[in-house]
């Protein structure tokens, strides 16, 4: 089950509009799964997500984790803002079985180095193993595995990234990055098929992406 199509465009601040120093991300549409929501990388969104997570911790009788949550969220949003993140997509409402996926998708603007096109970047990604999105040549897709410290715990991250050029200029692209979190201390790797299903979901979400025609 999916939510209605979301139409998105980036805002420009007044100074940028008056001076013409920045161009917004072109409008696009994306279909999100049921229970998912969209946020930007502002302090207001950070406070809202902390509020939602704090409520869930209280419901799970773990208010002791609230301070750690706030610190981790603050660092995460600082990283998102420094990475020129445009939008954040994640599940905010549990499904019928109370499941909330440890999964998020971000959309960030990627700019070609030196003011050129992104053709060289794409060629290098393909040499390193990137492919189209299941035959959808609008996107170059690649995966990577990392570990990250979360408080006193280390967790694994499977990341899938999807790069598509802006429709009106090849010097910029929109990069969707999906991150699925999993344990690293399970020798049976029972998490692996779960992570694969989560990335199948993000593949399906990104495949609904479409640039909106200019008015």
DSSP string, 139-186: EEEEEEEEEEEETTEEEEEEEEEEEEE-SS-TTEEEEEEEEEEEES--
> Tell me: the pLDDT tens digits for 198-214?
999 999 999 999 998 76
User: Out of 36-50, 109-123, 189-203, which region has the weakest mean confidence (pLDDT)?
Assistant: 36-50
pLDDT band at 1 (very low <50, low <70, confident <90, very high): very low
Q: Return the higher-pLDDT residue of 100 and 172.
A: 172
DSSP string, the chain: -EEEEEEE-----HHHHHHT---PPPPEEEEEETTEEEE-SSHHHHHHHHHHHHHHHHHTT-GGGHHHHHHHHHHHHHHHHHTTEEEEEEE-S--TT----SEEEEEEEEE-GGGS-SHHHHHHHHHTT-EEETTEEEEEEEEEEEEEEETTEEEEEEEEEEEEE-SS-TTEEEEEEEEEEEES--TT-TTHHHHHHHHHHHHHHHHT-EEPPP-
User: Does the structure show a pLDDT above 50 at 64?
Assistant: yes
pLDDT band at 131 (very low <50, low <70, confident <90, very high): very high
User: Does the structure show a pLDDT above 80 at 184?
Assistant: yes
pLDDT band at 70 (very low <50, low <70, confident <90, very high): low
Average pLDDT over residues 68-82: 68
Question: What was the pLDDT predicted at 153?
Answer: 78
How remote is the C-alpha of 208 from its chain's centroid?
15
Average pLDDT over residues 76-104: 82
User: Does the structure show a pLDDT above 60 at 73?
Assistant: yes
pLDDT band at 172 (very low <50, low <70, confident <90, very high): very high
Average pLDDT, the chain: 82
Average pLDDT over residues 155-182: 92
Q: Return the higher-pLDDT residue of 178 and 52.
A: 178
């Amino acid at each position: 089950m999916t939510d209605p199509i979301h139409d998105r465009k980036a805002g420009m601040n007044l100074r940028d509009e008056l001076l013409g120093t920045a161009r917004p991300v072109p409008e696009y549409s994306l279909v999100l799964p049921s229970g998912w929501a969209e946020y930007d990388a502002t302090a207001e969104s950070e406070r809202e997500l902390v509020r939602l997570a704090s409520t869930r911790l209280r419901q799970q009788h773990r208010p002791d984790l609230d301070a750690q949550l706030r610190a981790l969220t603050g660092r995460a949003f600082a990283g998102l803002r420094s990475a020129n993140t445009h939008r954040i997509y994640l599940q905010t409402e549990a499904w019928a079985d109370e499941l909330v996926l440890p999964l998020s998708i971000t959309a960030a603007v990627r700019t070609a180095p030196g003011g050129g096109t992104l053709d060289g970047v794409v060629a290098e990604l393909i040499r390193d193993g990137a492919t189209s999105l299941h035959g959808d040549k609008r996107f170059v897709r690649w995966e990577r595995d990392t570990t990250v410290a979360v408080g006193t715990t280390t967790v694994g991250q499977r990341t899938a990234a999807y790069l598509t050029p802006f429709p009106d200029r090849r010097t910029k692209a929109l990069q969707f990055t999906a991150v699925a979190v999993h344990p690293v201390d399970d020798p049976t790797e029972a998490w692996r098929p779960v992570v694969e299903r989560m990335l199948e979901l993000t593949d399906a979400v990104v495949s609904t992406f479409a640039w909106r025609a200019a008015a």
